Amino acid sequence: MAMRSVSVGVLLVACAVAWPVAVVWPVALEAQQRSDLVVAVGGGGTYYCIITRCGTGGTVVGLVGYGLAPSLMVVASGRWHDCFDCRRFLVAEGSLQLRHRGRRMQPFVAAGVGVSSDPDFMGDKVGLHAAVGTWLWLSPRWGLQAELRGRQVGRGDAMAELSLTVARRFLAGPS
């Protein structure tokens, strides 16, 4: 019980800090130079404490991101979670990523909101999430994204997720 309270508290503090920075920093630092569209798929592992049990599972990730500014990307993702002792459920999320615009490596922080759905197990729940990770561009168009994400699932339930995706970038505008 204490672990869940700490996890939710850390998640809320991370979201509270990341949100104003994500909105103000790109506007203050630089004008929009490029609007990249990124599509990525991958997978990873999860640790969860939902309802009355904790355990591990796997996840399949699909995401679409759009660069609003060189340091800011809006991301929509769908995540299919498979817990070893429960039925599968889907999480649809939207977030903002504040990125450092390096040429090959782009570390980021992200925060957003999502909806989880499992009609047979826990129903539909809304929750917040925060993440840290990096994009590693192997070429101008192909790359990898590694991410560690913490998520609140409804009230008092939490998940941690580590994922790796393969990304395809579609470039637009001047570089």
Domain assignment present for residue 48? The answer is yes
Domain assignment present for residue 175? The answer is no
Range of the domain at 6: 2-170
The CATH number of the domain holding residue 152 is 2.40.160.20
Instruction: Give which of 19, 2, 22 is closest to 129, Cα–Cα.
Output: 19
Low-confidence ranges of the chain (pLDDT < 50): 1-33, 175
Q: Does this model's pTM top 0.85?
A: no
Radius of gyration of the chain (CA): 16
Amino acid 8: pLDDT: 44
Give the total number of structural domains in the chain.
1
Amino acid 108: pLDDT: 97
